[in-house]
Structure 1
């Protein structure tokens, strides 16, 4: 039995009934591999359209990044729309730009429709350490306004002190269409919504093989599913089940800590409006307060998804750089989780053959983009593939150095960008 990691999220998860493991032969319209946000969003949109759906999860619902992330609803993609406009044909860029803020809207709609209790809070801030970063945020504001986000506010040095109790920043950009949630409780709530709509989820049911065909056959250790369509949604936890996907992406780890409860008064001294925060560095810090008034702080990247031995040693200095007033505070939870990085830092959508679909590689922007992915997948299977194909047409480049050298090559590149951040150039 593979259970959730010992995180703050697992310790504060809503009461939920586990799902059975698969020990029979089933047939359905769509078999989805993975019960993270990509798989759950896909399943929920599909069952709402009347499809029969089976979701197979190797561990528990939300076991991977979906149940371990920083809980931040951050708009756009890991590469912003200016990068897309510079490298894509105008029609494709227009379609991708039109979806920049849709993922967050989908999350809020899911929460409202199914009454998911996951501590939803509105508002997120991008914080600038340097004048160069603040200049880039001004450009980001113009880009996002062009694509329809009219809920942005540029913050100067005095303005950002109104939203965060730290002297670290020279300014920032408030996105009122951002926000934060308890990510595991969102995943569990979506799983219950799928169950309520007649979808079937099986935990502890790792897929051992996918046999192409019409129908395709998906096997686990004790069961099998015949399906008209298969959706591969394992992301950083897919392993080598689909070798052609593994070669063009790289799992990466990020570390998170949660303090002891601070009490509401002290929590609001840190973040007076209860916005979530992330800085603008290449290897960024992100943080927020929780529903029970802890500070949750994350950052750093471990290329290749190795679990570091001492998460506190890595993250506490980052937290104290931002909030030196927390030197007396105890850390009660530490954990790590993996996201999937692509060479372009843009997600990889596509098809293998006629009826096997995949979505992966959100490169750190998975909370919102996964929810968009599920909606686009449901559209594609219903015969409206234009928006799905706008993503599928993005190139999927392998990392330089192949699987053997991709980690040191990528780490070297990250070290250069981190040095540039420290120098403020």
Structure 2
């Protein structure tokens, strides 16, 4: 199939997300944090099923854990670079798609090489005091606005936003605009086709900051200023701004959803809440890993396009076909978990796909774990009697989104 037609098929698949039958939308839906019936029904048909056919392009859905790992790790058989198919490459730089998630080697290797040194264990240890401070400030803010607060606004979003802004070295004057642009990055409810356009605001801001820093260094010490100083000769403003945007994209909305949904889930499991309050590292790690499996806010991985005919599970995926991996389903594979629909930190196992796998595994995965450990332990200790302040049925979750979340979580501090 011609690349232009494949690109049209991909654009239509996103822009018409609300208009297609529910039988095709189910990978982007949840029932609270549980998979919807359509996803479970798809699994019953097999680890790999044909989801749809659009303009001659076949879309496949992977739900099995082992097959998901294989697909995500296969950079020879599958391409992530869809910029020539769905990107607005004739538009302004901030309106183009890109970043690590949608690039292939050698570009991917070159760009990832820039970021990896900033996320080593030593660098992350240096960030711990900043994470502690951001969490403490969010808890103080909750206490000041209690006894009932919206945990999504004052904790779920406040913590990762503060951590990411500190990490990047975002000037205080730009943070309000930065946050305003972030909310719509993953929401497909109103018009999925805008998903590539809503990113332009944050990307334009970051590209402009990089360009200004290059001319006259002024940014606070942080990732932005270091990248310009250390890699400004090799990478242009769009590439550096795109890398910074990828950090924001991967570490803001996803961590916010994890903290909010994770807290809601923990309030239903007092033993795990108490384990966090005790703060013993082994127990905390088990709770965090099980939260990553069970909540897994990123519902699907970046789509893969088959470079050639590839065997996936029991099916042959033809060159040009699109493969979508359901991270939600992979974490609930009954072949891997005795009771996958039950939250049980004592049975937590390594190998979560919540951060992806293989070449495109999230570079900030360990920073995300650090945030979760620090924030949830501190929350449980500061407010041990935290309780939901509304009826569970009154909670509203995202209806159709790449990153699943709860829109508001009223809690009583106790």
With structure 1 as the length reference, what TM-score do the two structures score? Answer: 0.25
**Would you tell me which structure has more strand in proportion to its own residues?**
1
With structure 2 as the length reference, what TM-score do the two structures score? Answer: 0.25
